[in-house]
Amino acid sequence: QVLLFATDNQNKVKELREAFAKAGLDIEVKSKADLENPPYVNERGNTFEENAKLKAHALADFSKLPTLADDSGLVVDKLNGAPGVHSARYGGEAHNDSRNNAKLLAALGGVPEEKRQAKFVSVLVLSQPGKPERDLVVEGTCEGVVLAVPRGNDGFGYDPLFYVPAKGKTFAEMSTDEKNEVSHRGNAVRKLVKELPDWFAE
């Protein structure tokens, strides 16, 4: 089986490939980096699900391959759910991790640790070209705390600020495998993996 992962984010690709391998799945995961002139997708939706569908449908139509998309973000209680669907460009510039992290720290300035709860959310949509009615939608979450000082060098995005009490580490202090065990994306992929055989068989 070949699956297109409709993402420009190679960190997401690495996490998905490792999670599939761990589940014993023999699926070749391609991404937008393997396509010539893939379409730009304007993520104009108001929810993770809407944006994941926009990406999955656009790339499924373009590639004619079964296509998976992930839309994800950090939802901070004290910030009424921000940055949420705007996580990628929270600091004003798309995918500038240091500006995004700086903005998050500033927004939570002076807020004590016990009031810095947050969750990561990942919505995955698996789509068959031309058949949006067959969309498979799953969601995974991960609860944690936004630290005031970053820790760790691995991962991407908000990983150095996202502390997971169950592991005693930030995402940026975990290997990909360890992150997948508890992360929003890991939890979403495990739900997807359960549904995959039926989805491919139908």
Q: Per the annotation, where are the binding residues for substrate? A: 7-12, 72, 156-159, 179, 184-185
Task: Specify the residue for token string 């944006």.
Answer: 51
Q: How far is CA 170 from CA 161, 175, 183, in A?
A: 7, 11, 11
Q: Which residues of 36-50 are buried (b: 16+ CB within 10 A; e: fewer)?
A: eebeebebeeeebbe
> 71 or 173, CB closer to ligand ITT?
71
Residues 6+ apart with CB under 8 A from 190: 19, 23, 140
Catalytic: 71?
Answer: yes
- Provide the CB-side half-sphere exposure for 83 (13 A, CA): 25
Give the per-residue contact string, 83-122, with ligand ITT (x = CB under 6 A; - = no).
Answer: ----xx------x----x-------------------x--
Candidates 13, 146, 159, 173; binder of ligand ITT (CB under 6 A) is 159
Does residue 173 belong to the site contacting ligand ITT (CB under 6 A)?
Answer: no
Candidates 63, 157, 173, 188; binder of ligand ITT (CB under 6 A) is 157
The CA distance from 155 to 195, in Å, is 27
In the complex, the smallest distance separating the C-beta of residue 54 from ligand ITT, rounded to whole angstroms, is 10
Does residue 73 belong to the site contacting ligand ITT (CB under 6 A)?
Answer: yes
Question: Coil, helix or strand for 44?
Answer: coil
| Catalytic member of 34, 71, 77, 97 | 71
Does residue 53 belong to the site contacting ligand ITT (CB under 6 A)?
Answer: no
Name the DSSP letter for residue 83: B
What are the residues binding ligand ITT (CB under 6 A)?
Answer: 7-9, 12, 43, 70-74, 87-88, 95, 100, 120, 155-159, 171, 183, 185
Residues annotated as catalytic (active site), given as ranges: 71
